[in-house]
Amino acid sequence: MSDLPQAYAACEQALRAGDRDRWLASLFVPAQHRPHVHALYAFSHEVARAREAVSDPRLGEIRLQWWREVIEGGRETEAQANPLSQALLDTIVKFNLPRSALVNLIEARRFDLYDDPMPSLNDLEGYCGETCSALFRLCAIVCAGGRDPGGGEVAGHAGCAYAMAGLLRALPWQVARGQCYLPGDVLSRHGALVEAATAGLDSPALREALADLRARIRFHLKAARAGLAQIPEEIRPVFAPLAFVEPWLKAMEKRGYEPFRTLIDPPQWRLQWALARWPGRLPR
């Protein structure tokens, strides 16, 4: 459609305003594929903010259901009137993306609407897989021109590393809205209580649990980086967001860090420096 360029421009604008880190990392993606990556990330950001956009979980359910119906082929008129959904649907068709992965991402985001605790590390990694690993995988398909380029295991580890680190960064915001993504089994293993973490109560036991989670994140990060050499060069730029994970973790390990108070928000120049050292190749 004639307004597709404007739709893709709106996706980039939404991404740049709402998810600066992924927008910066998207600069690694070749120019011809970048608008489609923006569409995928803008969609992800839109469904991720369902809880903060509404005052009642039921309204959040309606928003997520709308996106599900759009992806499954419904609400055509409404979808074409929304620039984010218009660009997303165009990307799905052009690259024959699996709609089931996008539907699963939406379903996983229903967890965000409520205050239920995260039961276990396995549940947390499953959540990260459906909300973040799937995005890495879809962007890889885009950069491969619509074919399956492999790299599913790398995407799995990358999604867990990036999303888990992001959730630890977000602890101050989570506590402010009475939510906790820290897995219950990891907390209990160190003698920490989910209720205390949800209330924003710091303790030595909580610090031990967080150190355990950072070690798990580094495990996934190491596995993802090791796998980069085994995947096609054309899809490696997709994994540039991983450049931010280690700086985030180091910031959490500095003296004076308070899990429920310290905002992990490095300046843009530091993020650009991390990207400059990333092993993926910049697009020409």
pLDDT digits (tens, 9 = 90+) for 72-103: 998 889 888 999 999 999 999 999 999 999 99
Task: Kindly give the residue spans of alpha helices, DSSP state H, lying in the chain.
Answer: 4-18, 20-26, 34-48, 50-53, 57-71, 76-81, 83-95, 99-109, 121-128, 134-143, 152-169, 171-176, 184-189, 194-198, 204-228, 245-252, 268-276
pLDDT of amino acid 280: 55
Q: Could you tell me if 58 and 168 lie in one domain?
A: no
* Local confidence band at 278 (pLDDT 50, 70, 90 cut-offs): confident
Q: Could you tell me if 250 and 186 lie in one domain?
A: yes
pLDDT of amino acid 1: 46
Q: Is the pLDDT of residue 56 over 70?
A: yes
Q: Is the pLDDT of residue 136 over 90?
A: yes
How many Å is the Cα radius of gyration of the chain?
A: 19
pLDDT of amino acid 281: 46
The 10 Å Cβ neighbour count of residue 249 is 20
CA atoms in the 13 A half-sphere facing the CB of 261:
5
Q: Could you tell me if 146 and 283 lie in one domain?
A: yes
Which domain CATH number covers 31?
A: 1.10.600.10
pLDDT of amino acid 106: 97
Q: Give how many domains the chain has, as a whole number.
A: 2
Lowest mean pLDDT among 21-25, 55-59, 153-157, 254-258: 55-59
pLDDT of amino acid 90: 97
Domain boundary among 92, 114, 136: 114
Q: Could you tell me if 166 and 25 lie in one domain?
A: no
In Å, what is the CA distance from 188 to each residue of 118, 126, 164?
Answer: 12, 20, 18
Q: Could you tell me if 175 and 109 lie in one domain?
A: no
Q: Could you tell me if 109 and 132 lie in one domain?
A: no
Q: Average of pLDDT values for 144-149?
A: 95
pLDDT of amino acid 273: 87
State the pTM of this model. 0.94
Q: Average of pLDDT values for 274-282?
A: 70
pLDDT of amino acid 2: 54
Q: Average of pLDDT values for 189-208?
A: 96
Q: Could you tell me if 194 and 253 lie in one domain?
A: yes
Q: Average of pLDDT values for 185-209?
A: 96
Percent of the chain at pLDDT exceeding 70: 97
pLDDT of amino acid 277: 83
* Local confidence band at 283 (pLDDT 50, 70, 90 cut-offs): very low
Q: Are 246 and 221 in contact (CB under 8 A)?
A: yes
Q: Average of pLDDT values for 122-147?
A: 97
Q: Could you tell me if 132 and 90 lie in one domain?
A: no
Q: How far apart are CA 132 and CA 125, in angstroms?
A: 10
Q: Could you tell me if 147 and 164 lie in one domain?
A: yes
Sign of CA dihedral 56, 57, 59, 63: positive
Q: Could you tell me if 1 and 45 lie in one domain?
A: yes
Domain containing residue 162: 117-284
Q: Are 172 and 261 in contact (CB under 8 A)?
A: yes
Domain boundary among 74, 98, 114: 114
| Interval 28-49: pLDDT, tens | 999 999 999 999 999 999 999 9
Q: Could you tell me if 167 and 92 lie in one domain?
A: no
Q: Structure tokens of 83?
A: 């620039």
Q: Could you tell me if 139 and 87 lie in one domain?
A: no
* Local confidence band at 148 (pLDDT 50, 70, 90 cut-offs): very high
Domain boundary among 63, 94, 114: 114
Q: Are 220 and 158 in contact (CB under 8 A)?
A: yes
